């Protein structure tokens, strides 16, 4: 079995409180909101954490609608499929669990999609907050429903603003 790399981490301030960012070597491996259980990590600067912090600052300022970061979420093949589909939900929009299941070619897998969504280790950047119940109601969010509501309201308020300049991280 492959061993997980030692994670490096940093903490940044946000309108939601302190966010904990984690990197596995040179890729973003986690973003955890206040109150979320997070893995242990060694506090140290690595470039990808700096890029992520800068892009999150732009996002919270309403200047960024999409993220451009190398990602390394750890999960099953099915979870990775769901997480990839999450990244295709446009800023300011939502999808139901049913719509997400259909988008990955698994229309009867709504519950499994919900479970994978709930295990997303890179909140906000992999936008699991954009998934709602079929009736449009907010459902569980690892960062709490108040954070989910704030993120959705923030995105709706900034959807018509031009997105900030996207600079790809140096590789």
Could you list the active site residues?
128
Tokens read off for 19: 């966010």
Contact between 9 and 50 (Cβ < 8 Å): no
HEC per residue, the chain:
CCCCCCEEEEEEEECCEEEEEEEECCEEEEEECCCCCCCCCEECCCHHHHHHHHHHHHHHCCCCCCCCCCECCCCCHHHHHHHHHHCCCCCCCCEEHHHHHHHCCCCCCHHHHHHHHHCCCECCCCCHHHEECCCCCCCCCCCCHHHHHHHHHHHHHHCCCCCCCCCCCCC
Chain-centroid distance of CA 84 in Å reads: 10
């Amino acid at each position: 079995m492959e061993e997980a790399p030692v994670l490096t981490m940093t903490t940044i301030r946000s309108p939601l409180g302190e966010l904990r960012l984690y990197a596995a070597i040179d890729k973003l491996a986690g973003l955890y909101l206040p109150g979320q259980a997070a893995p242990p990590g060694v506090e140290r600067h690595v470039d990808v954490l700096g890029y992520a912090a800068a892009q999150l600052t732009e996002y919270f300022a309403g200047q960024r609608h999409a993220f451009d970061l190398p990602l390394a979420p750890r999960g099953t093949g099915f979870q990775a499929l769901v997480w990839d589909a999450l990244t295709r939900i446009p800023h300011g929009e939502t999808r139901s669990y049913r719509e997400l299941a259909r988008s990955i070619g698994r229309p009867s897998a709504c519950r499994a999609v919900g479970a994978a969504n709930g295990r997303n280790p890179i909140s906000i950047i992999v936008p699991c907050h954009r998934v709602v119940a079929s009736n449009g109601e907010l459902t569980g969010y690892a960062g709490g429903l108040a954070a989910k509501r704030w993120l959705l309201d923030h995105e709706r308020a900034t959807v018509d603003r031009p997105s900030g300049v996207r600079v790809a991280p140096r590789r």
